[in-house]
Chain A
């Protein structure tokens, strides 16, 4: 991959919680305009990896480079302002606040073009416009996922990271969500997502990495991974 089209580059990242080594010497790359998937079982280190890229955790060793600048150890709020965002597992919306307030929080650090961004998000997710004064708690699972993605879009991000977008959602809704992600990607958004159940994710992605107990066990194009017998057996169940 050409160097200057690399949006995110993670090299030799190791992250620990006390004595637990959650991520061991992991490296991955995301080029502009790609959808990249992180596959792995529960506890494989996907969330830790994403959170470290965002700046929630500080790695023990390794580097994270975003858009050409090193961001290892930079705190999360600075990285969000620089254009990285994370849609956390379980949606991470503020249940007691309204849909609108949740969306406005997405633009918290840059309120300049809020109205325009809001309109765009409503275009993508008309249901959010309908429910904009409703408390987020009253939304369905799929609607909450849309709200979470919409909130991420409000910050006009360069890189959208999503942690397990399909968790807890009905299969039909999961299809909708991945269709949305594909559309977003066609509009130019770079997406890095993690998934346990990788079938649908790999079908809309360009490339993927397999994470096992904190290490990158495999990497390749989406097609390579879909056809790999080991990956098939372990992760492409449904």
Chain B
């Protein structure tokens, strides 16, 4: 597999996963930016486990997921039902603190970062295929989960909370419980994603986990469409790929361009490009054609 394609596919997958990790809590109006901190915590921890304790990658990855879940769950105990604003600030504060800690910890390379992680499976080729396979698996699992969530009782409850938290509470929705659930799942996904992010490059650096990453994820979600998970899938490759076609001078201004696109979409098309109505139309179209096939088969019989 050509290297540029590998990087494009794997980074796009990471972008989708991070955006999905943010999509889920946003269903209850929480912008759960702590996920970026989760990526850093789990990623660096996994790297340290592999480098210093020679733990096999598989276990390190699982540890990354577990760590994400743990941090997410503990924090959710406090902010599961907090106002949107508080959740945002907690997230940003966490990112800052985690970055400062990493910056000052020689054990994880401080400002230099961790380099030269071992290849999974012994050689670079296998390593890349393993990473892609795991990412693909995560994409399928997460996408399936989000799809089922959205079409479940919990998904409807989440929509109610998004529109009017107090009304939802008076209808019997367990705000704290729901908030804790989405936050914990979101952080778990983010943790694993963080581990994979670094292992794509076989290195970890503070520059991977910056506030700019928050901006990128936000642009993907809000431009793609925050009402369904599919806007993210469509937009992530576009947003990451299109700048790559331009000369490096333009690529430097990537974040500014993202910000500009975000602002324009917010003002002109607030629900994003892939709206809930679009998805519903697609879904009924797809299930409609399937129904037609079934009827024919019955008639044939």
Check A-B contact in the complex, CB < 8 A: no
Interface residues of A (CB under 8 A from B): none
Residues of B at the A interface (CB closer than 8 Å) are: none
